[in-house]
Amino acid sequence: MKENASTFDAEALRACCARLLEAAGLPSDRANVVADVFVEGELLGYRTHGLKRMSSNLEWLQSGETSRDGEIRIVNAGNAVEHWDAGFLPGPWVVTSAVERASDMARSHGTGTIAISRSQHIACLAAYLMKATAKGQLVIIMASTPSESTVAPHGGTDRVFSCNPLAAGIPTSGDPILIDTSASMSAMGPLYRAHEAGKQMDVAGIVLPDGTASADPASYFDEDGAILPAGGLEQGYKGYALAILIEALSAALTGYGRATPASAKDGEANSVFVQVIDPAHFGGAEGFSRQMSWLGEACRASNVASGKDAVRMPGDRALAVRRQQMREGVSVAPAILAELRRWGALLGVEAI
């Protein structure tokens, strides 16, 4: 836990966040869902996309940037596919609804796919995954931000893409595999933190206009640099390909994305792709679990170089952090706690 951080029961934090969101105008049922996603992100250790997102979401509710009420518009629908226009409703509520709906379609048809335009920022992708894996289903979530250009194409120096996160939850006979990554060398959160702290990034993840790579976050903010796609200067074609795929599935499928003039004013709103697959309709749930469990065991049992940590599967660390915080309390940084209490005072409700 971070020095000087306070610890709180997860349920108390959920209740706190729900009270604040409801006081800002969000209906109670939706406030509870959004609060659950933020606290789940915090429990899993995704600090930049957990409770830290509360302040911006409260601001958006008050300013009208986030729609307080209204319904998702189903633009097109088939037996196992739907296209939603979320109308800037709260992203955590929208994606939770999408995972639940896609899960129902997958139970009936083997797979369920939903492409979503104009969802307000969806926060931590990993926070949604266990809603499907707990049912023995595989889930894939991808997102892009049509108004945001921060990442260069491989070989270029202009900012074209957003950071484009990708997450997947894969059930096994034990803990699920939880993948949460992006097509870029860095998300914006770590870049902001390093810049504010005057620190270098761990790797040279920024390309300058002259084509050289830099680990200095000031290269992005002050020197017109762009974030490199995953793989960096030499092998960025890998992240570049992923970025294109994520744009195709999250934005192009809906017909609403970077080529839509109106999207330039959408702020942090996301285009989202959600797909749930039910192994029972393919080779069977037992066979799927057996294969993925074997793979996890083989990876964890891999020999490592002297002095190196054991191999982990994606999600192992996050689930260990979650268990610890459920047992000992959720660690909340002083700045985040101060923000929650500031909003409590502004909205006239008890924070925590």
Count of domains observed in the chain: 3
Answer yes or no: do 76 and 138 share one domain. yes
Answer yes or no: do 108 and 198 share one domain. no
Q: What is the pLDDT of residues 229-242, one digit of tens each?
A: 999 999 999 999 99
Answer yes or no: do 163 and 259 share one domain. yes
Answer yes or no: do 181 and 273 share one domain. yes
Answer yes or no: do 177 and 32 share one domain. no
Report pLDDT for 2.
Answer: 44
Q: How far is CA 36 from CA 105, 230, 291, in A?
A: 23, 30, 32
Q: Apex CA 241: angle with CA 235 and CA 244, to 5°?
A: 145
CA distance 346 to 23: 10
Does 155 score more than 50 pLDDT?
Answer: yes
Asked if residue 205 belongs to a domain, the reply is yes
Q: Do 6 and 340 form a contact (C-beta atoms < 8 A)?
A: no
> Which CATH number does the domain housing residue 262 bear?
3.30.1370.60
Q: What is the pLDDT of residues 92-118, one digit of tens each?
A: 999 999 999 999 999 999 999 999 999
Confidence of residue 26 (pLDDT cuts 50, 70, 90): very high
Cβ neighbours around 71 below 10 Å, total: 9
Answer yes or no: do 290 and 326 share one domain. no
Q: What is the pLDDT of residues 46-82, one digit of tens each?
A: 998 999 999 999 999 999 999 999 999 999 999 999 9
Asked if residue 145 belongs to a domain, the reply is yes
Report pLDDT for 5.
Answer: 82
Does 197 score more than 70 pLDDT?
Answer: yes
Answer yes or no: do 84 and 221 share one domain. no
Asked if residue 153 belongs to a domain, the reply is yes
Report pLDDT for 211.
Answer: 97
Confidence of residue 37 (pLDDT cuts 50, 70, 90): very high
CA distance 340 to 348: 12
Residue ending a domain, choose from 173, 207, 226 = 226
Answer yes or no: do 53 and 157 share one domain. no
Give the DSSP H/E element, type plus range, for residue 290.
helix 285-300
Answer yes or no: do 81 and 178 share one domain. yes
Confidence of residue 176 (pLDDT cuts 50, 70, 90): very high
Does 3 score more than 70 pLDDT?
Answer: no
Answer yes or no: do 142 and 275 share one domain. yes
Q: What is the pLDDT of residues 123-151, one digit of tens each?
A: 999 999 999 999 999 999 999 999 999 99
Report pLDDT for 58.
Answer: 98
Asked if residue 306 belongs to a domain, the reply is no
What pTM was estimated for this model as a whole? 0.96
Confidence of residue 193 (pLDDT cuts 50, 70, 90): confident
Asked if residue 14 belongs to a domain, the reply is yes
What is the pLDDT of the chain when averaged over all its residues?
96
Smallest CA-to-CA distance from 115 within 144, 136, 147 is with 144
Asked if residue 307 belongs to a domain, the reply is no
**Domain range spanning residue 22?**
1-69+314-352
Answer yes or no: do 152 and 248 share one domain. yes
Cβ neighbours around 192 below 10 Å, total: 15
Asked if residue 308 belongs to a domain, the reply is no
> Which CATH number does the domain housing residue 206 bear?
3.30.60.50
Asked if residue 309 belongs to a domain, the reply is no
Does 1 score more than 70 pLDDT?
Answer: no
- Computed from CA positions of residues 144, 321, 186, 217, in that sequence, does the dihedral angle turn out positive or negative? positive
Answer yes or no: do 156 and 204 share one domain. no
- Sorted by sequence, the CB contacts under 8 Å of residue 208 that are 6+ apart come out as 157, 214, 219, 223, 224, 225
Confidence of residue 189 (pLDDT cuts 50, 70, 90): confident
> Which CATH number does the domain housing residue 42 bear?
1.10.1530.10
